[in-house]
Amino acid sequence: MLYHFVEITFENKILKKVEYDLNDKTQLTEEMQLKTFEEMNLIAPLQRALKNEQYKTPTPIQAKTIPVAISGRDVLGCAQTGTGKTAAFALPILNHLGQRNRKAVSRRPFVLVLAPTRELAIQIANSFSTYGKHLKLRQALVYGGVGQGNQVRAMNRGAHILVATPGRLLDLMNQDHINLDQIEMVVLDEADRMLDMGFLPDVKRILSRLPGNRQTLFFSATMPPSIDNLAKRMLTQPVKVQIQSKSVSVDKIEQKVLFLKRDKKQESLQSIVTADDAGQVLVFTKTKRGADAVARKLDRSGIKTAAIHGNKSQNARQRALDAFRAYRVQVLVATDVAARGIDVDGITHVVNFDLPIDPESYVHRIGRTGRAGASGIAISFCTDGERRELREIQKLLGNKVRLITDHSHSPSEQHPRSSMPHAKGSTTPRSTPRRPSSRRSSTRPFAQASTSNGKPKNKRKQRKGRNARLRIKQASK
């Protein structure tokens, strides 16, 4: 498998793409003159709408996706919200429909856009209305949690474009209110979030009802294996567009891998969180249930903790994030997809309670600490069953970030808790010195958070942790 990071810079209409292949350490630089919206052959009503919106130049994802999609090719887009992704698929769709000038057919839309949440579906529908305001096209919006009457009526009247969440769409299809046999273009947006929210079986069922000769535009911020498989099933010779708005720098992050038994994870986490150098701690788990369990146990032990994952409502997630940002909780436990967009300053530690399956997620996770030039600590727990994931991470990052595998730190081995920061208030120094280098793993050792006399190495970090805890106490009074 090829792992690469793409850094996009955009200046004076020149898109400079630097692609780092982390397997063979090559660097590929490509510069291209971006097309303006005028040069993209979009129909006049769309050009007018873009002028109304005062969009002057396309964003990188638009510059790369729109011409390809207009040519009729399938697109596999790796991009997050905020990159201009919606217009990247909405404009080619509106261009296609606007050129044909047909009447909408009752219950049989021409275009389907699938989104994981009601909020995103509404946002997408608003974008279609904005960009398509000079066209005579109709759209319908279908999502759960509300009565179906209005949605059924809209489908009966006929809509060119249907924007839907998977569950309600299947419901209405099963009641024969919607038929997808006329679909010409389909968009799957935020596919990885669909997976996180458990929609994949529904999505597959919907896909099986689409005609084979449609055009597909597939978007996902990350590409875990099950999403990669889905993309392969859905797409025909797609053009891949990968946009990463910010390059990920992990140089300032101290990384550590801790080998331990599964049943020691919670205890080890607790030691990290209560150590003197710990301030705000972000913990990643593989599953939603895991996130809840870890958060519950920490909270019960008196550490203020919140959890965010795909099963929580948007409001609940926002509340948890706000509390974390305002130091009302010290620990936030998250799954990968729910943690997307977490941009909180002052995270001193990222703990990988479970290693991610997809090694690129590792980089995204640990990048949550060390923001804005600050340093940070990333600690990953690794059980015997997770060594494959660790190998993948090492393959991706190599020695560049000095990923350390040091068995002497295992709490379950000869020197219990030797590598663990000592508990808050404890006077016991961390006594175990490092083993001689011959006993360490082949990779270079990772700088420890404390010296052999038990004193934290970095006084500033220690103070930062104490201050953070103080703020939490005050905020929770």
CB nearer to ligand AMP: give 64 or 265: 64
By CB under 6 A, the residues from 96 to 125 that bind ligand AMP are none
Site membership for ligand AMP, residue 87 (CB under 6 A): yes
> Is 349 an interacting residue with respect to ligand AMP (CB under 6 A)?
no
Considering the complex, what minimum distance in angstroms separates the CB of residue 129 from ligand AMP? Answer: 12
Contact 18, 28 (CB under 8 A): yes
Residue 62 contacts ligand AMP per CB under 6 A? yes
Angle in degrees, 0-180, between the axes of helices 387-397 and 359-366, rounded to the nearest 10: 70
Nearest distance from C-beta of residue 85 to ligand AMP, angstroms: 4
Q: Which of 86, 165, 271, 348 binds ligand AMP (CB under 6 A)?
A: 86
Contact between 448 and 418 under an 8 Å Cβ cutoff? The reply is: no
CB of 55 to ligand AMP, least distance (A): 4
Classified as helix, coil or strand, 313 is coil
Cβ of residue 86: shortest distance to ligand AMP, in angstroms? 3
User: What residues are paired with 240 via a beta bridge?
Assistant: 76
Q: Is 151 near ligand AMP (CB under 6 A)?
A: no
What's the rounded Cα separation, in Å, for the pair 424 and 279?
12
Q: Is 84 in the site for ligand AMP (CB under 6 A)?
A: yes
* CB of residue 125 to ligand AMP, shortest distance in Å: 13
Yes or no: say if 72 and 237 are a contact pair by the CB < 8 Å rule.
no
SS3 at position 104: coil
> Does residue 85 touch ligand AMP according to CB under 6 A?
yes
Q: Which stretch binds ligand AMP (CB under 6 A): 66-74, 80-88, 148-156, 296-304?
A: 80-88
**Interface with ligand AMP by CB under 6 A: which range of 81-89, 361-369, 446-454, 463-471?**
81-89
Cα dist. 407→230, 257, 310, 351, 355 in Å? 38, 9, 34, 18, 17
Distance of alpha carbon 243 from alpha carbon 77, whole angstroms: 8
Q: Does 59 bind ligand AMP (CB under 6 A)?
A: yes
Q: Does 83 bind ligand AMP (CB under 6 A)?
A: yes
The burial class, CB within 10 Å (0-12 / 13-18 / 19+), for 29 is: exposed
d(CA 378, CA 178): 49
DSSP reduced 3-state for 258: strand
Q: Does 92 bind ligand AMP (CB under 6 A)?
A: no
In the stretch 26-55, what mask flags binding to ligand AMP with x, by CB under 6 A?
A: -----------------------------x
Q: Give 243 or 401: the residue with its C-beta nearer to ligand AMP.
A: 243
Q: In whole angstroms, what is the distance from residue 163 CA to residue 125 CA?
A: 7
Residues in touch with ligand AMP (CB under 6 A): 55, 58-59, 62, 81-87
